[in-house]
């Protein structure tokens, strides 16, 4: 467990929680990324504007952090392009079909004691564990 980074994980998690609180108290919305992104693709006008600004905030975070942080942001995708593309398709299709992802169901839904969000979070966690176990330890394939 030498990769375990408890302090930065907790600090980052608190920031994510605060982000969701600001969105709820200010705009009355759930800070769920897949819902905000999906809605940005299909909505118009004001509805599209706030969604686009939220998404711009995500990108801006990377830009701001890079300007002040001493170390570069590490983004290491270990899967091959084909599996990366398949993964993207599944994540896009699945999060819209299932009405949410790690943020909307995981961070926000659980705080609302939503039965659907508890079930969705347990399901995507379980399938995430199974997928990694099967690919890395059963099939031992290079994705």
Partner 1 sequence: MSALGRPLVALMSGLLFGLGLIISGMVNPAKVVGFLDLAGNWDPSLILVMGGGVTVTTATFWLVLRRQRPLFETKFYLPTKADLDGRLLSGAALFGIGWGLAGLCPGPALTGLATLEPSVVLFVGAMLIGMVLQHLTAE
Q: Does 142 sit near partner 1 (CB under 8 A)? A: no
Cα–Cα distance between 136 and 117 in angstroms, integer? 28
Q: What is the dihedral of CA 81, 86, 89, 92, to 10 degrees?
A: -90
Nearest-approach distance from CB 70 to partner 1, in angstroms: 13
Nearest-approach distance from CB 134 to partner 1, in angstroms: 8
Considering only residues 44, 67, 79, 142, which one is a binding residue for partner 1 as defined by CB under 8 A? Answer: 79
Considering only residues 44, 89, 139, 140, which one is a binding residue for partner 1 as defined by CB under 8 A? Answer: 89
Structure tokens at 52: 């686009």
Q: Is residue 35 within 8 Å of 108, Cβ to Cβ? A: no
CA angle 58, 62, 65 (to 5 degrees): 125
Q: Does 24 sit near partner 1 (CB under 8 A)? A: yes
Q: Is residue 103 within 8 Å of 121, Cβ to Cβ? A: no
Q: Does 25 sit near partner 1 (CB under 8 A)? A: yes
Q: Does 139 sit near partner 1 (CB under 8 A)? A: no
Q: Does 15 sit near partner 1 (CB under 8 A)? A: yes
Residues 33-72 that bind partner 1 (CB under 8 A): 33-34, 37-38, 41-42, 46, 49-51, 53-65
Q: Is residue 34 within 8 Å of 42, Cβ to Cβ? A: no
Nearest-approach distance from CB 128 to partner 1, in angstroms: 4
Q: Does 12 sit near partner 1 (CB under 8 A)? A: yes
Residues 109-128 that bind partner 1 (CB under 8 A): 109-112, 114-116, 119-121, 123-128
Quote the crossing angle between the two packed helices 45-68 and 33-42, to the nearest 10°.
130
């Amino acid at each position: 467990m030498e990769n375990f980074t408890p302090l930065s994980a907790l600090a980052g998690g608190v920031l994510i929680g605060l982000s969701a609180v600001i969105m709820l108290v200010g705009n009355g919305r759930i800070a769920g990324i897949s819902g905000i992104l999906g809605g940005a693709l299909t909505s118009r006008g004001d509805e599209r504007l706030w969604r686009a600004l939220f998404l711009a905030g995500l990108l801006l975070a990377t830009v701001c952090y890079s300007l002040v942080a001493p170390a570069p942001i590490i983004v290491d995708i270990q899967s091959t392009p084909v599996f990366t593309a398949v993964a993207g398709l599944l994540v896009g299709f699945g999060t819209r079909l299932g009405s949410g992802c790690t943020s909307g169901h995981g961070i926000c839904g659980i705080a609302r004691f939503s039965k659907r969000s508890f079930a969705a979070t347990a399901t995507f966690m379980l399938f995430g564990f199974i997928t990694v176990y099967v690919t890395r330890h059963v099939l031992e394939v290079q994705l």
